[in-house]
């Protein structure tokens, strides 16, 4: 199969991509999303969740109301999928950088926190699997909006959600020889000649990559479980809600932030 066609088939099978163009046809906003089933607090199948995988505006259109239109399209599609499957549309979630928290708050998504025994409010230490050769996870905000009445989800539910999301990173479809060759060609075009990857990717090499990466993902999952041990429940807070709590004298520690 042609690598580009394999990539197209893969994207269509694993998620959805939404584009917004200006009058000249230039892409000015992009949203990539997935829709997956998540467990409830008892670990039972509960409903579909929409994952905002990637959201960005062109620099020239930063701050303009383009991305909300794409999010609405993704929500409508997820709702249709839930109805077709006879399932509840239970949540929207996002792995995100700090710089888009304001936009996510406007959509109703808020980062998750818990209160430690010392009374300090701490952000849930969520990590996304690595997207490079490192073994370390990538610290991210984990923002959620529940539609099933959940206000303070249990820590075990968030751990299960995290594991479900992380399983997307290590799907076998991402580790076929065809896809890995496509990725190799794609990234090599941005590298100088002496840094280009010339590994011959066979089925055996692809399986080895998959085993290695799956091990990294499992290690991140186990680390998250250990970090959340002893936490019974978590709660969402927007940026404004945190500022209000801090004005009342509460101490809030963001994920990755050093304590004074």
Residue (of 92, 87, 16) closest to 49 by Cα position:
92
Average pLDDT over residues 174-195: 84
Query: How far is it, in rounded angstroms, from Cα 198 to Cα 154?
Result: 46
More reliable by pLDDT, 64 or 204 = 204
Query: How far is it, in rounded angstroms, from Cα 145 to Cα 148?
Result: 9
How much is the pLDDT for 13?
Answer: 47
How much is the pLDDT for 41?
Answer: 67
> Within a 13 Å sphere around the CA of 193, how many CA atoms are in the beta-carbon half?
0
How much is the pLDDT for 3?
Answer: 41
Query: How far is it, in rounded angstroms, from Cα 98 to Cα 108?
Result: 15
User: What percentage of residues in the chain have a pLDDT greater than 90?
Assistant: 37
How much is the pLDDT for 155?
Answer: 93
pLDDT confidence tier of residue 136, bands split at 50, 70 and 90: confident
Express each pLDDT in 22-49 by its tens digit.
788 877 778 888 888 887 667 677 788 9
pLDDT confidence tier of residue 61, bands split at 50, 70 and 90: low
Given the structure tokens 């700090």, which residue do they identify? 98
Instruction: Enumerate the β-bridge partners of residue 42.
Output: none
Q: Identify whether the C-beta of residue 51 lies closer than 8 Å to the C-beta of residue 74.
A: no
Instruction: Enumerate the β-bridge partners of residue 111.
Output: 143, 237
How much is the pLDDT for 217?
Answer: 94
More reliable by pLDDT, 192 or 59 = 192
Flag whether pLDDT at 12 surpasses 50: no
Express each pLDDT in 143-181 by its tens digit.
999 988 888 999 998 998 899 889 888 888 888 888 888
Flag whether pLDDT at 4 surpasses 50: no
């Amino acid at each position: 199969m042609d690598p580009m066609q394999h990539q197209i088939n893969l994207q269509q099978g694993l998620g959805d991509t939404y584009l917004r163009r200006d009058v000249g046809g230039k892409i000015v906003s992009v949203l990539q999303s997935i829709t997956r089933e998540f467990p409830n607090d008892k670990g039972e199948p509960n409903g579909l969740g929409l994952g905002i995988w990637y959201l960005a505006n062109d620099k020239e259109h930063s701050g303009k109301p383009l991305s909300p239109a794409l999010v609405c399209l993704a929500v409508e599609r997820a709702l249709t999928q839930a109805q077709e499957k006879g399932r509840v549309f239970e949540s929207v979630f996002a792995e995100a950088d700090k710089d888009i928290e304001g936009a996510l708050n406007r959509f109703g998504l808020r980062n998750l926190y818990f209160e430690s025994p010392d009374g300090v409010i701490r952000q849930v230490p969520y990590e996304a699997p690595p997207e490079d050769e490192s073994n370390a996870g990538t610290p991210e905000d984990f923002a959620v909006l529940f539609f099933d009445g959940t206000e303070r989800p249990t820590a075990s539910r968030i751990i299960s959600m995290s594991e479900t999301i992380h399983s997307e990173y290590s799907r076998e479809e991402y580790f076929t020889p065809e896809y890995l060759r496509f990725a190799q060609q794609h990234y090599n075009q941005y590298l100088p000649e002496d840094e280009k990857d010339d590994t011959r990717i066979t089925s055996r090499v692809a399986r080895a990559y998959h085993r290695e990466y799956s091990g990294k993902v499992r290690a991140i999952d186990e680390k998250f479980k250990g970090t959340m041990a002893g936490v019974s429940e978590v709660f969402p807070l927007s940026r404004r809600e945190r500022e209000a709590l801090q004005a009342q004298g509460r101490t809030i520690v963001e994920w990755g932030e050093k304590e004074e």
